[in-house]
Amino acid sequence: MLFTDLKLIKPILDALQTQGYEKPTPIQEQAIPSILEQRDVLGTAQTGTGKTAAFAIPILQNLTERKGPKSNHIKALILTPTRELAIQIEESFNAYGKNLPLKHLVIFGGVKQGSQVTALRKGVDILVATPGRLLDFIAQGIISLKNLEIFVLDEADRMLDMGFVHDVKRIIKLLPQRRQTLFFSATMPTEIQKLADSILNTPIKVSVTPISSTAETIKQSIYFVDKDKKLDLLTHILQNNISESVLVFSRTKHGADKIAKKLLAGKITTEAIHGNKSQNARQNALNNFKSGKTRVLVATDIAARGIDIDELKYVINFELSDVAETYVHRIGRTGRAGSEGSSLSFVDGLDLLNLRDTEKLIGMKIPVVKDHPYHTDDLIVEKRDSNNKPFTPRPKPANPSQQRKDASFKKPKNKNNFSRNK
């Protein structure tokens, strides 16, 4: 199927052609016709599947073809959990709707509200927002949603993880009963399923790429290395094996800054992006990475589902996350829309439990790369039992007092540590 088969209007088709888009992804092929018919949609899809275009394109068309007098009221609201994702969604509306007269705006916290308020007062058709700033503007009387026609809740499960569900429910109570609702989530925990059931009207269900799977176009590998040699290994790979842009994931903010400092010392242009950075600093770092000015971007998991870089070929996990599903989101930054990509994961003795959980989730044993100067055999990592689980011996670090809890420690159910986004 081609985009020309989806009954899209010429201004949108021309914009898609400019972007180099010819064939819709599975989620786009499934969702666009139903949204054009003004049906409610329940979509199960993770970032990297083309989800944003799946709702942005038909929204642009539906609003363009609306009959009746024009108004400056907000007609479509896209609610999303993070600033980075909100900015990227608005950029998508700008790209696909560049030949249309519709006005769109993104609002989020962490920056002064003056320019956002000025734009809102001039009139906006499509608003992309994070929950905190939207509620703030509603409380100030700057925004009214009484004339809203289309509501999109994006990354619903991430809203739950970040503690925004109550804010989302407050916003939903302010929406007109008669509206089109589009609901997207990578996973469907019980609370999210109940929320979907409460706001959708006989929805069309579309589903692609379950959370436990990784794209077949991503070449995955692991490097066994002592913890204190990881920075040396990363520098070695970037200086000898990879010459292109690389997204590196760190478990902590401090770790991200430490990695960036080390790489900069090795004359590798690097910036870090995490929750302690100002909004302007984070956006500048992201723009520099996208443009190629910065070769390496080091990110914490706040960015795992919020960074969208075209044709990114390499993701490196400096350490594995304690939450196995995060691995899928991290490496999903590459291998997008059918493109090839590679993920490299550094594993030390304290990462072995996380490696076991990750391989169990994705249903495969990740190949080991031994051809590097920092490979360690001390972990006895090649031993796997009949269930294809890594053997996990007790690590013997130089300073046992600094190690994390061993494999017998029961991890909390929720390891996420997000700050509220206003």
- Domain borders along the chain are 3-207, 218-402
Closest CA to 35 of 197, 206, 193, 194: 206
Does position 346 have pLDDT exceeding 90, yes or no? yes
DSSP labels, 37-63 = TT--EEEE--TTSSHHHHHHHHHHHHH
Per the listing, tokens 């003004």 go with 38
CB 107 within 8 A of CB 130: yes
Topology of the domain covering 218-402: Rossmann fold (3.40.50)
Look at residue 401 and tell me whether its pLDDT is greater than 90: no
Contacts of 24 (CB under 8 A, 6+ apart): 1, 2, 3, 6, 32, 50, 53
**According to the model, what pLDDT value does residue 69 have?**
64
Who has greater pLDDT, 1 or 205? 205
| Confidence (pTM) | 0.61
Phi, psi of 284 (to 5 degrees): -65, -40
**pLDDT level of residue 414 (50, 70, 90 thresholds):** very low
Measured distance CA(349)–CA(303) in Å, rounded = 26
pLDDT confidence band for 146 (50 / 70 / 90):
very high
Residue 283: pLDDT band with limits 50, 70, 90: confident
Query: Same CATH topology for 3-207 and 218-402?
Result: yes
Task: Give strand ranges (E) for 228-380.
Answer: 246-249, 270-273, 296-299, 314-317, 341-347
Q: What is the mean pLDDT of residues 248-265?
A: 92
| Of 141-155, 193-207, 289-303, the least confident | 289-303
DSSP state string for 168-223: HHHHHTTS-SS-EEEEEESS--HHHHHHHHHH-SSPEEEE-S-TT---TTEEEEEE
The number of C-alpha atoms within 13 Å of 403 and in the hemisphere containing its C-beta is: 17
Q: What is the spatial distance between Cα 244 and Cα 249, in angstroms, rounded to a whole number? A: 16
Rounded to whole angstroms, how far apart are CA atoms 397 and 304? 29
Cross-strand partners of 204: 41
Using CA atoms, how far apart are residues 215 and 204, in angstroms rounded to an integer?
A: 25
Residue 48: the pLDDT is: 64
Question: Length of the chain in residues, anyone?
Answer: 422
Q: What burial class does residue 372 get, using C-beta atoms within 10 Å of its C-beta: 0-12 exposed, 13-18 middle, 19+ buried?
A: middle
In tens, the pLDDT along 220-246 reads 999 999 999 999 999 999 999 999 999
**Using an 8 Å Cβ cutoff, are 129 and 107 in contact?**
yes
Cβ partners under 8 Å of residue 422, min gap 6: 109, 110, 130, 132, 133, 136
**C-alpha to C-alpha distance for 171 and 176, rounded to whole angstroms:** 11
Is 311:289 a contact under the CB 8 Å cutoff?
Answer: no
The predicted pLDDT at position 117 comes to 93
End-to-end CA separation in angstroms for the chain: 41
Sign of the Cα torsion 281, 311, 154, 53 reads positive
pLDDT higher than 60, residue 251: yes
Q: Measured between alpha carbons, how far is 214 from 225 in angstroms, rounded to an integer? A: 24
Of the spans 197-201, 331-335, 351-355, 416-420, which averages the highest pLDDT? 197-201
Average pLDDT over residues 155-164: 84
Instruction: Please state, as a whole number, how many other Cβ atoms lie within 10 Å of the Cβ of residue 345.
Output: 25
Q: Under CATH, which number does the domain 3-207 receive? A: 3.40.50.300
pLDDT band at 379 (very low <50, low <70, confident <90, very high): low
Say if residue 410's pLDDT is above 50: no
Q: What integer pLDDT is reported at residue 411 of this predicted model?
A: 39
Dump pLDDT digits (tens) for 79-127.
998 887 888 899 899 989 999 999 999 999 888 889 999 999 999 999 9
What is the average pLDDT score of the chain? Answer: 84
Q: In the structure, what pLDDT confidence band is assigned to residue 340 with cuts at 50, 70 and 90?
A: confident
Give CA–CA dist 198/153, Å, rounded: 13
Which of these, 64, 203, 72, lies nearest to 127 by C-alpha position? 72
pLDDT grade for 68, boundaries at 50, 70 and 90: low
pLDDT of the residue at 152: 98
